[in-house]
Amino acid sequence: MPADALTTNELAGLIGVSARAIHDLAARGIVEKIAPGRYGTDSVARYCSHIREQAAGRTGGNELQNERLREARERADKIALANGKARRELVPAADVERAWSEILRDVRARMLAVPARVTARLGHLTRADTVIVEQEIRDALEGAADAR
């Protein structure tokens, strides 16, 4: 057995993890197991390299870590939405649609009343003039409705 080999407990003590973590690291190829319960001294450097890669976000193949990160982001989004609702910064889309529908119905009714009001104020307009103004307003309203 090489003299420069470390026991599981020695390696665990050097890098500050449990013996179980050393077994997991060996199974993942991060530390080098050279015999039962023995690890190469380069395992410390290999572990440090692995930690640097993780810190730099270059591990890529760690699906569990990526899934945990995605889940954490989803939880953060959920909390942000709840906070936005609590601060009344967000409203349900159905409420917005209902409010805008009411506003647009009111605008439509007021616009359709314009020809009658104009005719009453301008006594010289003929019925044909009023029909033209009314048709122009209806065409404008239909154009606006088609734009969405």
Q: Which of 48-57, 79-88, 107-116 has the lowest mean pLDDT?
A: 48-57
**pLDDT of res. 108:** 93
Q: Which of 62-66, 96-100, 122-126 has the lowest mean pLDDT?
A: 62-66
- Distance CA(1)–CA(7), nearest Å, equals 11
**pLDDT of res. 99:** 95
Which helix (H) or strand (E) covers residue 6, if one does?
strand 5-7
**pLDDT of res. 76:** 94
Q: Tell if the pTM clears 0.85, that is, is over it.
A: no
Question: Phi and psi (nearest 5°) for 3?
Answer: -75, -20
Among 22, 17, 21, residue whose Cα is nearest residue 7:
22
What's the mean per-residue pLDDT of the chain? 89
pLDDT in tens, 21-68: 999 999 999 999 999 999 999 999 999 999 988 887 665 556 777 888
pLDDT-derived band at 91, boundaries 50, 70, 90: confident
**pLDDT of res. 145:** 86
C-alpha distance across the termini of the chain, in Å: 79
Contact 112, 138 (CB under 8 A): yes
Which helix (H) or strand (E) covers residue 2, if one does?
none
Q: What is the DSSP letter of 31?
A: S
